[in-house]
Structure 1
Amino acid sequence: MPAQLGSCAGIAFPRCGRPGTLRSARDLPVPSQSHPAPHRGSPVTAATALLSELTARAKATAHSGTPTAPTCVCGTSTLADRPDATVVRHADTVAKAHAPGTPLAELTARLTAAGRLRGILLPPLTPTPVALHDRLVTFWPYGTPVDPRNPDAAPWEEAATLLARLHRTPASPGLPAMRGPAKAARAVDRLRAAGPHPATRPVLEAWATLPAWARAEVPMPDTRTLCHGDLHLGQLVRHPAPDGHWLLIDVDDLGTGVPAWDLARPAAWYACGLLPPDEWARFLDAYRTAGGPAVPPHGDPWPALDVPARALTVQTAARSLTKALAADRPLDEVEQSLVDACARMGSVPPELTGTFAK
């Protein structure tokens, strides 16, 4: 295993539960199962109307150009239903309603990039989004996701190789910036607005130690490298289903930026003990073998990974704390460990780590 993995100041978390264990589906994010239909007689909300019409669009797209039986028996399922994304599947077609306010030009540029990156990203079925209520909708072929019940079979090498190929591909002209830092900043803003909590202070202090680019206050130091922006195991599917090649999905954060951001989440999981050392080594080695430019080909990767891994730690802690405040519940063990890591990050002056970008 490469030297000094996990040794960067403030990011070496305490072990959470049994070392090397993915504790829950939250640690191995994948699309959820079918969303239950509303009870009969419940008010028809805007969200319910969106889900109903999105399902109809998915069905129409799935059967476009082919005769449809009077009664379709293909079946429909809701893969996600959140404020920032609603995703439904009908037969082999997936329809996604993107977050309100998503810029049309940026999403179109990202779809164009996905369409030309075949073999790396899942290509969309249509090249441009369509409007539905106040949302933009895109259509995709269905792919088989990672099975959260079998973390030992997680495709870490495949994910790393796809990232390396993505990072080596020249970005299309006009592609917007990768949205990772902006999403981290939004998570921190939501924490600030969520109300008082003793854990808020260490999270915000850790945020303050990050360089301005990682807080989305200035452009990233790399504005040319193509990045995914939100890599986790829920962003991989096999296509064609059920056993085709692994491909990356979700173009919402795709853009140019610092490629180490795409390695930051598994790096932080490894440091926390959620990802076993051998799996982290397999992921890192596969990325290096494939020529990924985010880290040096040999030696200690943490000078490149330190800032993004810290930023992802703060982002995850901020989200967890915001959710705990909204539910009026205490932090669980993993959430508290993230806050503890932030406390250590805030206590170490950035100039002493020797790894922060200027």
Structure 2
Amino acid sequence: MTPSPLLPALTARAEAVAHSRTSGCPCGATRTLADRPDATVVRHADTVAKAHAPNSTPADLTPRLTAATRLPGLLLSPFTPTPVDLHGRLVTFWPYGAPVDPADPDAAPWEAAATLLARLHRTPAPTALPPMRGPVKAALALARLRTAAQKAATNTDLPAGTTAVLRAWDTLPAWARAQAPQPDGSTLCHGDLHLGQLVRHPAPHGPWLLIDVDDLGVGVPAWDLGRPAAWYACGLLPPDEWDRFLTAYRAAGGPAVPADGDPWPALDVPARALTVQTAARAITKALAEGRLLDEVEQCLVDACDRMASVPPELMQGHAK
């Protein structure tokens, strides 16, 4: 992948901010933590600079950053809630936090993630916020799949798995496809929860905090449980890890599911939506790389094929 042309300027800005904040800042190398079309992230010493997605606007991002500064025990706080413009991209600056170690799955902080989510869902939004962006991101993933599939199609045949994913998507209620307002307009949600969204701050042994506020907003809290629920339903998350996560969420008073009994009526739609989104991304990526789906990606597509034949359970009181 070709490095982002923004990378040199972002690196220089991260170094400048780090030096301005710390007297005698060690001038070690600046590391690139992520370089994707939707985000470029670099670290210099204990300062992290993030260039947000090209379509990010101050009107959407600033209230989310403001919320992070007002919820320091839940979300990592930026140095300032005001993003800066760097070559047409909004950039923010953050303290460095130690991420989850992907090489040590046994140490995955499922209880910490669940407890933070429950606390977030029980906390009133500290400022006016837009809807959380989970359904919008899912819809974008499906739109990209359709575009990629049309380009790759031979005659009238779609790439393998595409039809199953599109059929599963069409079974979802309108709000989960971002075609109608979310049925909950007041609960504070992260919008894109997975273990990569947790860091320890101060690093390396501080408390766990949630990061990445780009999708933060108000909406259906069950969406934040949707990805681990989807992994569990697809057989990609062991039952004991799912039980740890769900039990900790309930113990912390999380409102997304009942305190006991079957959680699936609340989780079914978000889990399906996240499965479809992830499968759509997998096919799009495989098409771009000219390869077949790997075992995990095929598992997600197979789940979509099964879902398309079984209508989702709708949350009580929430219509299609």
Which bracket does the TM-score occupy, shorter chain normalised? over 0.9
The corresponding residue for 1:300 is 262
Matches within 5 A, 1:311-330: 311-330=273-292
- Equivalence for 2:107: 153
- Using the TM superposition, give the Cα deviation of residue 289 of structure 1 relative to its aligned residue in structure 2, in angstroms: 0.6
2:90 to 99, 112, 136: 136
Residue 119 of structure 1 deviates from its aligned partner by 0.8
Same amino acid, percent of matched pairs: 74
1:65 deviation in Å?
4.9
The answer for the alignment partner of 1:186 in structure 2 is 140
Gap regions ≥5 residues in structure 2: 154-158
2:308 is paired with a residue whose SS is: helix
| Equivalences for residues 1-358 of structure 1 within 5 A | 47-48=4-5, 50-67=6-23, 73-195=27-149, 196=153, 197-350=159-312, 353=313, 357-358=318-319
Measure, in 1, the Cα distance between the counterparts of 2:254 and 2:276: 25
Post-superposition CA distance 1:119-151 (Å, at most 9, x none) = 100010112000001210000000000001100
**What SS is found at the alignment partner of 1:194?**
helix
What TM-score do the two structures reach when normalised by structure 2? 0.93
Partners of 1:214 and 1:91 lie apart in 2 by 40
1:25 alignment counterpart: none
CA distance in 2, matches of 1:354, 1:293: 17
Aligned-partner SS, 1:166? helix
TM-score scaled by length of structure 1? 0.84
Cα shift readout 1:212-248 (whole Å, capped 9, x = no counterpart): 0000001100000000000001000000001000000
1:355 offset after TM fit, Å?
5.3
Q: CA deviation at 1:270?
A: 1.4
Unaligned runs of 5+ in 1: 1-34, 39-44
Q: How many residues align?
A: 310
| Deviation digits for residues 30-81 of structure 1 (CA, Å, limit 9, x no counterpart) | xxxxx9xx8xxxxxx8x23x10010111111111155558xx6332100000
Contact 2:234 2:303 (8 Å CA) reproduced: no
Which secondary structure does the structure 2 equivalent of 1:347 belong to? coil
Partner Cα distance (1:221, 1:333) in 2: 35
Q: Which has the higher contact order (CA 8 A, sep 6+)?
A: 1
Where in structure 1 do 4 or more consecutive aligned residues deviate above 6 Å? none
1: distance between equivalents of 2:15 and 2:199? 21
